[in-house]
Amino acid sequence: MQNYIHGYSETEAGRLEDQASILASYLHYDSYFPAGSTVLEAGCGTGAQTRIVAAANPDVHFTSIDIDAHSIKRAAEEIGRLGLRNVSFQQADIFNLPFSPNSFDHIFCCFVLEHLPTPHMALQSLKKVLKHGGTLTVIEGDHGSFLSFPETAESRRTVQCLVELQANAGGNALIGRELSALLRKAGFEKIRVSPRQIYADAGRPGVMEGFSKKTFIAMVEGVKDQAILHGLISKSAWEKGIADLYKATEEYGSFVYTFFKAIAGNS
Ligand SMILES: C[S@@+](CC[C@H](N)C(=O)[O-])C[C@H]1O[C@@H](n2cnc3c(N)ncnc32)[C@H](O)[C@@H]1O
């Protein structure tokens, strides 16, 4: 995938793992599927979510796909290392799935649609391989939901640079709020969207470290070179903005961000 904004580096793989671990209690306390069912995980990346949902559902078989061969290899190694035997990996494109219609009981897709120029077409493609009566679970963020204290023009601008770069690459970093509409347009029914808000202050040092620093600021810092190169911000404003984001992780700071988890039916 040429325009994938976060890239496929070791640093990004580590960030995805930190993100999945810290967010597991917010996003996956209800990620359970009926025993004996089959789940297609679309866009599994390096398996950061796979290892959580597969471990929580030992009697469910997961087929985890990604378009990137290197990510699939890494995910398979990690799942093997953990001794999880209920996952098969396959390199595949969501828009050209190598499965027959009505193949899976459920589909799970996390942090993928935000990178696609045509997320509604991805949902339509996934719907074809989902059995009637099955469900699709989608999880996405929305950078417009980010609030911090303190907050400055520069800290807001660094986050906005990420939103703009992702839009330039054909994605949408504000997709969380749109999930319900996208699912409806793709023909899904019984759509339930559950906002999952993360709040961190000095009283929650684990969330501040794991989410605010290692997930959110790390993600923003990842686009520094692109933001400056494309003239979206000056180097000095970028450096002040990042320093200001870190101030919000200190003793008197606070961080707020909302993820959106949608579950939709296929009648
Ligand atoms: C942000 S990563 C998320 C990975 C994983 N779901 C997680 O939450 O850690 C997005 C993943 O979607 C994959 N992807 C993007 N377009 C795809 C496509 N058309 N078909 C399959 N995978 C795709 C990328 O290769 C990348 O691994």
- Ligand 1 site, residue 76, Cβ cutoff 6 A: no
Of 18, 96, 112, the one to substitute when testing ligand 1's pocket (max ligand atoms within 8 A of C-beta) is 112
Return the domain boundaries, the chain.
Answer: 10-266
Cα–Cα distance, 182 to 170 (Å, whole number) = 16
Q: Is the dihedral of CA 59, 60, 65, 71 positive or negative?
A: negative
- Ligand 1 site, residue 223, Cβ cutoff 6 A: no
Distance 63 CA to ligand 1 centre (A): 14
Each residue's pLDDT tens digit, 58-103: 999 999 999 999 999 999 999 999 999 999 999 999 999 999 999 9
- Ligand 1 site, residue 50, Cβ cutoff 6 A: no
Closest atom of ligand 1 relative to the 94 alpha carbon: 20
- Ligand 1 site, residue 233, Cβ cutoff 6 A: no
Cα–Cα distance, 209 to 80 (Å, whole number) = 28
CATH superfamily entry for domain 10-266: Vaccinia Virus protein VP39 (3.40.50.150)
Q: Are 65 and 133 in contact, with CB atoms under 8 Å apart?
A: no
Query: What are the residues whose beta carbons fall under 8 Å from the beta carbon of 6, sequence distance 6 or more?
Result: 12, 15, 219, 222
Q: Are 82 and 55 in contact, with CB atoms under 8 Å apart?
A: yes
Of 67, 72, 162, the one to substitute when testing ligand 1's pocket (max ligand atoms within 8 A of C-beta) is 67
One-letter amino acid of 208: M
Q: Is the dihedral of CA 37, 54, 212, 229 positive or negative?
A: negative
Distance 203 CA to ligand 1 centre (A): 34
Return the pLDDT at 3: 60
- Which tokens belong to 118? 């045509």
- Ligand 1 site, residue 141, Cβ cutoff 6 A: no
Cα–Cα distance, 8 to 45 (Å, whole number) = 9
Return the pLDDT at 10: 75
- Ligand 1 site, residue 17, Cβ cutoff 6 A: no
Return the pLDDT at 5: 67
Closest atom of ligand 1 relative to the 45 alpha carbon: 27
Distance 148 CA to ligand 1 centre (A): 28
- Ligand 1 site, residue 48, Cβ cutoff 6 A: yes
Residues in the chain, pLDDT under 70: 1-7
- Provide the whole-model pTM: 0.94
Q: Are 256 and 147 in contact, with CB atoms under 8 Å apart?
A: yes
